[in-house]
Amino acid sequence: MATMSERPGPVVVVGASLAGLRAVEGVRRAGFKGELVLVGAEEHLPYNRPPLSKDLLTGMVEHNALGLCTEEHLADLGVTLRLGTPATGLDLGAREVVLDGARLPFGSLLVTTGSRPAALPHGGAPPRGVHLLRTVDDALALRDDLSRARDVVVVGAGFVGAEVASSAAELGARVTVVEAAPAPLARALGPTIGEVCGRLHGLHGVTLRCGAGVAALEGTPAVTSVRLTDGTRLPADVVVVGIGVRPDTDWLEGSGLDLSDGVVCDETLNAGHPGIWAAGDVATWTNPLYGRRMRLQAWTAASGRPLRRRATLSPTPRNPARSSRTSGPTSTASGWPRSACRARRTNRTWSGTSKACASSPCIPTATGSAWSSPWTDRI
């Protein structure tokens, strides 16, 4: 199969994300001399997303410090920027990306559009004060509301929800987290380690309501409360919905690509058609360490999949990894959690593995998972 540097015509990267930035840098390193285009739905240059739910919300950093590159850097690479221009379709027959009012021909295409946060399935426009968090503009709007909020309800206790809850509590709000699972972060870390994280939240004044569902968001025109499925009403000036993400592939519907939980790719991240690839958390591929198809939704998934020497994408067989700061300590997770995950405390670290504990904290085996975090005697 011809690689991106060998196919005739422009190389187009759709998604001005970390994965998209690393792709255009890798294509040039591989020796491609032709036209190289980076398309992004947002007006911003590629930027670092992990601080959106942490340091940007608390004011420790400003949005202009999150950039991953400058315009000069991309100009030096000879990259044509099409920012603020969302892709709306893909015509495989004509080999064109459909933009708003235009078509962009390509020889090779790389999809790096990432994912979008899922909304509550209640239908209709939510009241003012209800937030999803994906972009820097989302984070700035949320930070503005948090500066005046007394009661904050976070729906979903995954990584983003847990980080937002920690940030809101740090800003002085009364924070309640509503989670359908029996423990926070259970899907990412397993229920045992999730319970440890829940205790950390409690130590920092965050109230957890696990095993609970949301029946309605109440208030007009601004949110005033969240009604749970058991009839409880939680007061809320701000509601943050963090119930997971879905791959940003709506624009690819009807294109002929396999979109089963993302763009389905082979071991080289080829999307099943000549010259079409995907990377980052929009791509789903089979990880040989686990023998299963997965879509990695962490920062490392975008930064850790380099282009091969000849500009063919190469996903590294690796354990999924994520670092998160919630309610004080920074935690790192590596691997794929299983229900048998167990925890222990050694020296100044809580750690857990899905098999017998590794010889030192957070060192995963090929098929296990590990987690570690600084501990306190109170958990």
**Hey, do 11-116+246-303 and 119-243 end up sharing a CATH topology, with the first three levels equal?**
yes
User: What are the boundaries of each domain within the chain?
Assistant: 11-116+246-303, 119-243, 329-374
Q: How many helices (H) and strands (E) does the chain have?
A: 8, 26
Helices (H), the chain: 18-29, 55-58, 71-76, 136-146, 159-170, 186-189, 191-203, 299-303
Residue 328 pLDDT greater than 70, yes or no: no
For the segment 187-216, the average pLDDT, to the nearest whole number, is 82
pLDDT level of residue 110 (50, 70, 90 thresholds): very high
Q: Which tokens belong to 319?
A: 């354990």
Which one has a higher pLDDT value, 52 or 356? 52
- Residue 54 has a pLDDT of 92
- Residue 242 has a pLDDT of 95
- Mean pLDDT lowest among 45-54, 152-161, 220-229, 295-304: 295-304
pLDDT level of residue 295 (50, 70, 90 thresholds): confident
For the segment 163-167, the average pLDDT, to the nearest whole number, is 93
For the segment 340-355, the average pLDDT, to the nearest whole number, is 47
- Residue 22 has a pLDDT of 94
Mean pLDDT of the chain: 81
For the segment 233-245, the average pLDDT, to the nearest whole number, is 96
Which CATH code fits 119-243?
3.50.50.60
Cα radius of gyration rounded to whole Å, the chain: 21
Q: Please state, in angstroms and as integers, the Cα–Cα distance from residue 255 to each residue in 59, 92, 116, 258, following that order.
A: 42, 7, 19, 9
| CB neighbour burial string for 301-336, b if at least 16 within 10 angstroms, e if fewer | bbeebbbeeebbbebeebbbbbebbbbebebebbbb
**CA torsion, ordered 323, 327, 329, 332, to nearest 10 deg:** -20
SS3 state of residue 336: coil
Question: Under CATH, what is the fold of the domain 11-116+246-303?
Answer: FAD/NAD(P)-binding domain (3.50.50)
- Residue 201 has a pLDDT of 72
Supply the pTM of this predicted model: 0.81
Residue 152 pLDDT greater than 80, yes or no: yes
- Residue 359 has a pLDDT of 29
Question: What is the spatial distance between Cα 144 and Cα 140, in angstroms, rounded to a whole number?
Answer: 6
Which one has a higher pLDDT value, 314 or 306? 314
